Amino acid sequence: VEHFTAVLRRNDFIALAGPNGAGKTSFIATVTGDRAPAAGNVRIGGSITSAWFRQDLADLPLDKSLADAIQEQRPLWGRGHIQNCLGAFGFSGDEVLREIRTLSGGERARMALAIMTLSRANLLILDEPTNHLDVENIEALEDALEDFDGSVLLVSHDRAFLREVATRVWSFDGTHLTDYDGPFVEWEEDRARRRRT
């Protein structure tokens, strides 16, 4: 990324927009510290706790049951609390005893989001969070983000989702990032206007 300086502020919901293959996931990996920057630096404030929803869902503990994965996040919780947490993400009854490896793509996405909600993060980094979700679960995610008191950096090809949640846009072409300080819908309109002229 050449000549880019920006600050992600509290309560910013930034859409990282750009074509497939531009390097959005690599950019996110650099922001989170999983990848060293080629030049310059990335700083995350000392009071920031981040949680990364990975597009490939690689962080899920596949050998654990749903209940055990939640218990790992909240060791003092009893069965009732665990059931309630998982119930909020559409898992009920004996489903909570299933191993995560047996879940479908959508179920794994919901499980990753369940674990993420327990991380007490104030910076959520969401890489294609709606990929495996149905309309009902996307709406539930939108509602959860509306109540979230923190910052979000997100990548999604779901433009309707971005129109609902993104308050700011970082437009990325693989080399240059442009900071648009306005909602995703205004960025789309501005981009369409510029293309017409």
Q: Given its phi and psi angles, is residue 175 left (phi above 0), alpha (psi -120 to 50 degrees) or beta?
A: alpha
Per-residue pLDDT, 15:
95
**What pTM value is reported for the model?**
0.85
Q: 19-23, 79-83, 119-123: which range is least confident on average?
A: 19-23
**Cα separation, 23 vs 25, whole angstroms:** 6
Per-residue pLDDT, 41:
85
Q: pLDDT (tens digit, 9 = 90+) per residue, 99-140?
A: 999 999 989 999 999 999 888 899 999 999 998 888 988 988
Please say whether the beta carbons of 111 and 38 come within 8 A. Answer: no
Neighbouring CB atoms inside 10 A of 173's CB total 13
In this predicted structure, the answer to whether residue 173 has a pLDDT above a threshold of 90 is no
In this predicted structure, the answer to whether residue 1 has a pLDDT above a threshold of 80 is no
